Chain A
Amino acid sequence: MYKIIKKEVLNPQITLMEVEAPYVAKKVQAGQFIILRVDELGERIPLTVADYNREKGTVTIIFQAIGKSTKMLAQLNEGDSIHDFVGPLGVATHLDGVKKAAVIGGGLGTAIAYPSAKALHEKGAEVDIIAGFRNKDLIILEKELAQSSSRVFITTDDGSNGRKGFVTDMLKQLIEEGNQYDLVIAIGPLIMMKFVCQLTKQYGIKTIVSMNPVMIDGTGMCGGCRVTVGGETKFACVDGPDFDGHLVDFDEAMRRQQMYKDEERKACEDCRLRRHE
């Protein structure tokens, strides 16, 4: 069992938890993820590590309550425990030799992009963060992003705070203003990552995306998370989750992500969330 040390509600949908997980905390690097199971009947769900404290042996996860498992997780409080918590899994993001980067987060993806931005910033790279949200109530991690970058650009779809428009509009503007990025990291919904890649391809800027397919074990033993990259089948849990965005078959990934949508909807409609005393 893995104890929840801290819980913070970041916005109506997104929750942060700091969890006691010494094995993960000791080894994890930016870009890696964990798999957790809320309780004995729970499913295994992957979540990217948002932060860690090696001395305290804790790991921070940030998640959006969108389905049964994440809603059940959000019900847990400080002092409660998560049944299973395994990692670090996947390959760390390659950040060596980067001088100027744009790190783009969409919604919850901002929390996942944050550790890479922080790591680049600490290595002395110039980092512009573009974080996109649907409206001002959903903005998260504003302070942390500011501390881990040269500049932060917040966009909202409806213009309720920051700039109106999508992250791609902002990125395009920055590129056309003459910012020469040697790397773009884009993390968020598949559709957002796809559009960022379409844009950066026109400018020939190397772009890393973090894929988020359905996963079970997360150790390479089932292939449930397979994605097509440059015409080859890769397992996102062991070969990724980071891939060269210009080589990823996003249409296939979006289709595969929908595989269980009927079951997910039903599980949530029933909404018989198991309570934990």
Chain B
Amino acid sequence: MANMAPKKVKMPEQEPTVRNKNFKEVALGYTADMAKEEAERCLHCKHMPCVKGCPVNVQIPDFIGLIKEGDFKGAYEKISETSALPAICGRVCPQESQCEKYCVRGIKGEPVAIGRLERFAADWAMEHIKEGVKKPESNGKKVAVVGAGPASLTCAGDLAKLGYEVTVFEAFHKAGGVLVYGIPEFRLPKKEIVQKEIDKLKELGVKIELNVVVGKSINIDELLGEEGYSAVFIGSGAGLPKFMHLPGENLNGVYSANEFLTRINLMNAYRWPDADTPVKIGKNVAIVGGGNVAMDAARCAKRLGAENVYIVYRRSEEEMPARLEEIHHAKEEEIIFKMLTNPVEIVGSEDGWVTGLKCVEMELGEPDESGRRRPVEKKGSDFVLDMDTVVIAIGQSPNPLIKNTTEGLATQPWGGIIVDEETGATNIEGVYAGGDAVTGAATVILAMGAGKTAAKAIDEYIKSKK
């Protein structure tokens, strides 16, 4: 008989008032006993609705069954058949809108904690499985991968397993993309988790060349030409920050979320002055936006010692695109939510520093084309919040560098690369793309799914050329 408890086994966490002062991981993960107890909640449905909700189709009931039996190694191997980065996905996937959304147990009560179980199996494997991955025999064909984020790493891993000689070109000094510069340490530990997953890819034979900006240091024509690559995968992400074009946006103390998070996460500004990159945090900090990036920025600001951190969002909490768990965590950590509030100006001192954020109150009107009710300004409702730091977190779009340096590459008006959805093929022969570079800012697991699809198509393409 399954464990019929209506709620998930609780995962231990750091206390909110403790964790909002450190950068250590918030969620501490299941113990073996907790994992087995939670695994008992799975009903092993024959039609496996959960699997359809997973963008890379992890065989969920199978791996959960193995956890139930205490075969943690087997569970990890089962997940690894389809997912390249389980320790990461178990942590950052929005399971409530993917696998767990379709879980039958979710109809009456909470769904099975699939994400937490995946994380458990992956963490267990990292700690206990010591033998290295076996490097597959080379088939002599080279594939180049642009960018080292989740789409690229997945594509590179899958191709390496098939025997391709894969080289990943990364502009930054560290591989991982948004996993290292965007998502903070307290959600995704960099050394223990991200770096270890990347090291495993290297054992498979994937070469990672850091400090190479494709489009500047080398371009795609050269990769396919004189450099001798049979195909290229573009996984360069959506790293171009959007600004609001408000008066005062260039005042000192105003950041894009990308800059703010890059300083903190990639450059370790939270360890300044031991690490050399500084970041400016005032007493009052406003984060403008309502996605995961805004939550991450707000929680970072709190940890860096800001007294009052505000999320300023023009719609209501219901419309916020951030993960529920992140909103919940942010509230526990005393982040202040200013909903239905739209900034209209950033106010500054005579010497050019931010002093306030001028906002107007909003109310919800008719639904717009996205289906969300459109916020409408309340006339004469403007007011100024005292602020020392403002972070703009209203979204990113694809960086135009690849488009501008790859002649003939077809892109959307907003910059996304146009691909065949089935294969990830672009309009240029031998060039594939996936992840945020194609879709605009989305999720880690969707990027991984796109990387997988493209790897399969690249393999077929190269074989067809023989």
Q: Which residues of A contact B (CB under 8 A)?
A: 23-24, 27, 37, 41-44, 68-69, 83-89, 216-217, 219-224, 226, 228, 233, 238, 252, 255-256, 258-260, 263-264, 266-267, 270, 272
* A to B contact number (C-beta, < 8 Å): 111
> What residue in chain A is nearest B392 (Cβ atoms)?
A223
If over half of B's interface residues share one DSSP class (helix, strand or loop), that class is named, otherwise mixed; here it is: loop
**Contact at B273–A219, with CB atoms within 8 Å?**
no
B267 interface hit (Cβ, 8 Å)? yes
Cα-based distance from A83 to B210 in the complex (angstroms): 11
Report B228-249 CB contacts with A as 1/0, cut-off 8 Å: 0000000000011101010001
Q: B273: which A residues are within 8 A, CB to CB?
A: 263, 266-267, 270, 272
Which residues from chain A contact B253 at a C-beta distance below 8 Å?
259
Q: Which residue from chain A places its CB closest to the CB of B267 in the assembled complex?
A: A43
Given contact pairs A84-B210, A259-B280, A266-B273, A223 touches B351 in the complex (Cβ within 8 A)? no
B259 neighbours in A (Cβ, 8 Å): 216, 222-224
Residue of B nearest to A257 (CB): B252
Which residues of chain B have a CB within 8 Å of any CB of chain A?
171-173, 210-213, 216-218, 239-241, 243, 245, 249-250, 252-253, 255-256, 258-259, 262-263, 267-268, 272-278, 280, 351-352, 399-401
Kindly state the separation between the CA atoms of A187 and B278 in the bound complex, as whole angstroms: 27
Q: State whether A255 touches B351 (Cβ < 8 A).
A: yes
Is A69 a contact of B276 with CB atoms below 8 Å? yes
Q: Select which of A219, A233, A259, A264 is within 8 A of B171 by beta carbon.
A: A219
A-B contact pairs, 12 of them (CB 8 A): A27-B218, A44-B173, A69-B276, A87-B216, A216-B262, A220-B239, A220-B240, A222-B256, A233-B250, A259-B280, A260-B280, A267-B273
A42 contacts B276, C-beta separation under 8 Å: yes
Give the nearest-CB partner of A222 in chain B. B259
Docked CA distance A255–B171 (Å): 29
A223 and B241 form a contact (CB under 8 A)? yes
Known interface pairs A219-B171, A260-B280; A86-B399 also in contact (CB < 8 Å): no
* Complex: A244 Cα to B212 Cα, angstroms: 29
Partner of B241, one of A41, A84, A86, A221: A221
CB distance from B183 to the nearest CB of A (A): 15
Known A-B contacts A43-B276, A255-B252; the reply to A86 vs B267 at CB < 8 A is no
Contact (A252, B250) CB under 8 Å given A43-B267, A221-B241, A259-B280? yes
The minimal Cβ–Cβ distance linking B225 to chain A, given in whole angstroms, is: 14
In the complex, the answer to whether A89 meets B213 with C-beta atoms within 8 Å is yes
The answer to whether A259 touches B252, judged by C-beta atoms less than 8 angstroms apart, is yes
Q: How far is the CA of A228 from the CA of B263 in the complex (A)?
A: 23
**In the bound complex, what is the Cα–Cα distance between A37 and B259 (angstroms)?**
17
| Chain A residue at minimal CB-CB distance from B278 | A263
Structural contact, A219 and B252, CB atoms closer than 8 A: no
Q: Is the CB of A86 within 8 A of B352?
A: no
Given contacts A69-B276, A221-B399, contact A87 B217 (CB under 8 A): yes
In Å, the complex CA distance between A228 and B274 comes to 33
Determine the chain A residues whose CB is within 8 A of the CB of B252 once the complex forms: 255-256, 258-259
A37→B263 CA distance, assembly (Å): 14
Q: A256 contacts which of B218, B250, B263 (Cβ < 8 Å)?
A: B250
Give the shortest distance, in Å, between B79 (CB) and chain A (any CB).
Answer: 32
A94 to chain B, nearest CB (A): 16
Q: Which B residues are CB-close (under 8 A) to A266?
A: 273
Closest to A89 in B: B216
Closest B-chain residue to A22, C-beta based? B217
CA distance A226 to B268 in the complex (A): 22
B399 nearest CB across to chain A (Å): 6
- Which residues of A lie under 8 Å from residue B241 when comparing CB positions? 221-223
Judge whether A233 and B280 touch: CB under 8 Å: no
Beyond known contacts A223-B241, A233-B249, A256-B252: 16 more, CB 8 A cutoff: A41-B275, A43-B275, A44-B277, A68-B276, A83-B173, A89-B216, A216-B262, A217-B172, A220-B240, A221-B262, A224-B259, A233-B243, A233-B250, A258-B252, A263-B273, A263-B280
From A223, A259, A260, A272, residue with most partner B Cβ within 10 Å: A223
B172 — which chain A residues lie within 8 A by C-beta?
217
Contact of A86 among B217, B245, B262 (CB under 8 A): B217
Query: What are the 7 closest A-B residue pairs judged by CB atoms, nearest first?
Result: A222-B259, A263-B278, A221-B239, A86-B211, A43-B276, A23-B217, A255-B352
Residues of A within 8 Å of B352, CB to CB, are 252, 255-256
Q: Distance (Å) between the CB of A87 and the closest chain B CB?
A: 7
Alpha-carbon distance between A41 and B266 when the two chains are bound, in angstroms: 10
Q: How far is the CB of B354 from chain A (nearest CB, A)?
A: 11
Contact between B268 and A41 (Cβ–Cβ < 8 Å)?
yes
Are the CB atoms of A223 and B263 closer together than 8 Å?
no
Kindly report which residue of chain B lies nearest to residue A83, judged by CB atoms. B173
Which B residues are CB-close (under 8 A) to A233? 243, 245, 249-250
In the complex, which residues of chain B have a beta carbon less than 8 angstroms from the beta carbon of A222?
241, 256, 258-259, 262
